Every structure is written in C-alpha cells, then in structure tokens.
Amino acid sequence: MISKTDGTAALLQRVSAEGQKLPLEERRNFLKHGLLLAGGVITGGALSANARAAAGNLPPNVPAWTRSLGPGVLTEPYGKPSRFEKHIVRRNVPWLTADRIASISFTPLAELDGIITPSSLVFERYHAGIPDIDPEQHRLMIHGLVDRPIILTVDDLRRFPGTSMIRFLECPANGGMEWRGAQMDALQFTHGMLSCCEWSGVLLSTLLQEVGIRKDAAWILAEGADGSHMSRSVPLAKAMDDALIVYAQNGEPLRPEQGYPIRLINPGWEGNTCVKWLRRLEVGDQPWYHREETSKYTDLLADGRARKFSYEQECNSVVTYPCPEKPLTEKGRYEVRGLAWSGKGKIKRVDVSFDGGVNWRPARLKGLVLPKALTRFGLEWDWDGGPAMIQSRAVDETGYVQPTYTQLREARGTNSIYHKNAIHTWRLHENGKVTNVQIR
C-alpha cells in the first residue's frame, strides 16, 4: 500500500518534473487535497455502486489482481488499450454527411493528454473511402516542369535521407458547424478535426532536387490514388520549405486511414492540402484550380468575393478540461487544461478567462513547445461552485492573437465554413456540467 508520505513525494516529484513553478501556497492546497484522499475520504458517500461492490480491492485490502498471475507476453501481439477505456474512440456526426464514404470522424480530444494523438484516434476525412493499397504495387510519379521525371516505389523513397517532425493536422472545416451557429455539445465535435503526430519521411525539397526543377516552375499538383483522385495545388515555396512526403506516423508505417503507404504533409496548412495515398506530383507554372481549391476550401466573403488558397491554419486554442465530456465533480482546486496551435509557428502565450473574456490570467505552456504542433497549457483554478464562462486565447510567435467571434465575423462575414479559429466559450454550470455557448 502507498503510504501518505510516498504519495506526497510522488506528487512533489511530478510537480517539479514538469518544471512548473507553483507558488508555495498553491502547492500546499494541492497537497492537502492529496492527503485527504489518502486519509480515507474515499470511503465516503460519493462512491458509485460499482466501486462499493469492489471495496474488497480498496486499501487496506490486497486487490484481487495482485493475488493471481496475469496473461503472458504476446497475449496481444499488436497491443490495445485497457478494456476500461473502451469509450475513447473516434465518433462521427450522423447528420453531417449522406454516408460514411465521403465523411469525417472526430478525434476524442477530451480523453487525450500531452500533444501526440495516438494513430488509432486520429480523425479521418475521406472523399471516397479508404483505398486498400498494396505498397508493392504503389508508385509515386514526379513529372511536369522537371529535368528528370521519375517513378518511385515506396522502398525507393525510404532510401532518401529522411527526417521526422511533430506537427498538427487540422481540417479547415474544424469548428465550421459552430461558425454556422450549430452548438455541438462535445469537444470532440467542436474541435475534433484535429490531430498531432510525429511524421517521418523525405522532405519534398529533397525529391525536387533529385528530379531538377525547371526555371519557370512555380506550383506543384499533388494527387491521391483514392477514388476521388483528390488533388491540390501547392506553391513551390512551400514545397521547398517544409513539405514532407511521409511513410510513417508515430513510429510505425502510416495507417490506411492516414494515407498508407505515402502521403503529403504540409505543416501548418489546411489538412485538405495534405494529400493522402499520394500517387503523383506534377510541377507546373500556375495553379490547377481543381475542385478542392475552387468550389470547396475557399471562403466566400461578405462582398461576394472569395478568399482562395487560404492555406494557413491560424492560431487557435481550446480548453479541454473541463469540457462537456469532462464536467467538474465538486468545488475546489483544479488544473484547467487545453491545447493551442498555430500554422505560423510556435505558441508564445495562452491566457484563460473564467468570466467570458473580461479578465484574463496567463496559463503555463507545458512540455514540448514546437512550431506548428499542438501545445499544452494549464492553469490552477479554485472553483467556488459558481457559474463561469471559460475561454482560452492563444498568441503565436508572430504576435497574431486569436480573434473573438465578433472580430472574425467582421473580417470574414457570415458565409464561411472554413478557418474558424474564434475564441471558444464553455459555460460551467453550478452542478459542474459544461455546455457550449457563443457570447462575443
């Protein structure tokens, strides 16, 4: 059994391991609570029926699982989560699309910690379902305004010098339902077209060096091998900067859902430009104006003109705890947590408001702070049991400040679907429940 002092040491260790400098007074409050839990409050009336039935497993008893041997190695040759975590899954919004072939599923952001999205939980977006590609039969063709057109196998690609980067990927339609006025009562649906993985592959610039681009080259068309032949025009500058042809995700081969065996990643740019199941790169001197950059993924402004090639995912953030899926249970001290990200670079600062944007408090950035990656923030807060309007507002290293809905609508009008990055509000009720509201 863990003694009170062991528990205290572990807590202190955790606080210092995260490099968090909490004022002494705040530390003491956390610790007091920890001691209370260890000291027996756990036997109080708040236990569920299930927990009461299992009381034989609670201190000071020796739990059942400690008195027997468990299944051995290779019980799951490819591992899977604990059976107690079955609720952590991707979900869709049935009314959003006519079928599940041209559709979307959402990342369960409320259930995740840190910044990496487990591959199995990365949101999916397909225009024609998932193609079942045999990597032996898959090819990447690079042609157009190049000196040496080439057809590469996946093994050929792996022979080039490779690199890895942790980058977020967000569909520009993320939050689109909110922008249009729908109030989705789950973080999974308000912000879940969002993921962050470690991507491994070859810089597109390395491949372009290999084929030699002609003087008038200015654009690259990327085309997928799925039934939709989804394609996007990418400016040469992005291709020469940080665009990556990836074959691996979070350390293992890409998942079929994410573009197996190879896909394009344009860090910080609309997920739509990150063409999956990549089969063709054509170098040209102008954009192609295909479907996904004309009738879709453009932003109709109030005056009838449309923003086009609005590639960058601008600075955004959301509180992930509390949220509708994770209500508060009792008043007292909590760490309010969230995610911030910017397609322009690193997150510089996040502020949190508990009164709908009247007063702001700076949050701490936690763990890795990487460019164009999800960034964790946290802030200690004493909930007095009253109602609150919880918001987060992120600033990136370029100085760009996440806008309010009012500011965003003033700039873009009310026709848009894509690129909603307005400050989000969670309404905390006195019973600890959290609902979705738009207030300014």
Interface residues with ligand MTE (CB under 6 A) are 122-127, 169, 171, 195, 224, 226, 228, 230, 257-258, 271-272, 274-277
Nearer to ligand MTE, 33 or 255 (CB): 255
Partner in contact with 258, chosen from Mo ion, ligand MTE, none, beta carbon below 5 to 8 Å by kind:
ligand MTE
Burial classification of residue 172, based on how many CB atoms lie within 10 Å of its CB (0-12 exposed, 13-18 middle, 19 or more buried): buried
State the nearest-atom distance from the C-beta of 327 to Mo ion, in Å. Answer: 30
Nearer to ligand MTE, 122 or 220 (CB): 122
Stretch that binds Mo ion, among 141-149, 166-174, 367-375, 408-416 (CB under 5 A): 166-174
CB 264 within 8 A of CB 274: yes
Site string for Mo ion, 121-160 (x = CB under 5 A): ----x-----------------------------------
Peptide bond into 261 cis (omega under 30): yes
What does the alpha-carbon distance between residue 322 and residue 331 come to, in Å, rounded to a whole number?
A: 13
Q: Which residue has its beta carbon closest to ligand MTE?
A: 224
Say how many residues touch Mo ion, by CB under 5 A. Answer: 4
- Give the footprint of Mo ion on residues 62-101 (CB under 5 A): none
Q: Tokens for 413?
A: 């009008």
What does the alpha-carbon distance between residue 211 and residue 233 come to, in Å, rounded to a whole number?
A: 19
Give start and end residues of each alpha helix (H) in 113-219: 154-159, 176-179, 187-191, 204-211
Nearer to Mo ion, 243 or 365 (CB): 243
Q: Which residue has its beta carbon closest to Mo ion?
A: 171
State the nearest-atom distance from the C-beta of 296 to ligand MTE, in Å. Answer: 8
State the nearest-atom distance from the C-beta of 290 to ligand MTE, in Å. Answer: 12
What does the alpha-carbon distance between residue 145 and residue 321 come to, in Å, rounded to a whole number?
A: 50
Number of Cβ within 10 Å of residue 121's Cβ equals 19
State the nearest-atom distance from the C-beta of 125 to Mo ion, in Å. Answer: 5
State the nearest-atom distance from the C-beta of 403 to ligand MTE, in Å. Answer: 22
Structural element, H or E, at residue 415: none
Angle (CA) 393 182 301, round 5°: 70
Told to check if 171 binds Mo ion by CB under 5 A, we report yes
State the nearest-atom distance from the C-beta of 229 to ligand MTE, in Å. Answer: 8
Residue with tokens 């009253």: 386
Q: Identify any residues that bridge with 142 across adjacent strands, giving them in sequence order.
A: 150, 281
- Give the footprint of Mo ion on residues 229-288 (CB under 5 A): 271-272
State the nearest-atom distance from the C-beta of 227 to ligand MTE, in Å. Answer: 9
What does the alpha-carbon distance between residue 377 and residue 186 come to, in Å, rounded to a whole number?
A: 20
Backbone phi, psi, residue 286, to 5°: -155, 165
Buried b (16+ CB within 10 A) or exposed e, 193-222: bbbbbbbbbbbbbbbbeebebeeebbbbbb
Nearer to Mo ion, 124 or 282 (CB): 124
Nearer to ligand MTE, 267 or 322 (CB): 267
Nearer to ligand MTE, 174 or 392 (CB): 174
Told to check if 192 binds Mo ion by CB under 5 A, we report no
CB 263 within 8 A of CB 274: yes
- Measured CA to CA in angstroms, residue 21 lies from 26, 200, 271 at distances of 10, 34, 36
Nearer to Mo ion, 107 or 272 (CB): 272
State the nearest-atom distance from the C-beta of 276 to ligand MTE, in Å. Answer: 4
Partner in contact with 421, chosen from Mo ion, ligand MTE, none, beta carbon below 5 to 8 Å by kind:
none
What does the alpha-carbon distance between residue 324 and residue 427 come to, in Å, rounded to a whole number?
A: 9
Nearer to ligand MTE, 271 or 378 (CB): 271
Partner in contact with 242, chosen from Mo ion, ligand MTE, none, beta carbon below 5 to 8 Å by kind:
none
DSSP 312: B
Partner in contact with 226, chosen from Mo ion, ligand MTE, none, beta carbon below 5 to 8 Å by kind:
ligand MTE
Measured in whole angstroms, how far is the alpha carbon of residue 163 from the centre of its chain?
Answer: 21
Nearer to Mo ion, 142 or 234 (CB): 234
Backbone phi, psi, residue 282, to 5°: -115, 130
**Interface residues toward Mo ion, by CB under 5 A:** 125, 171, 271-272
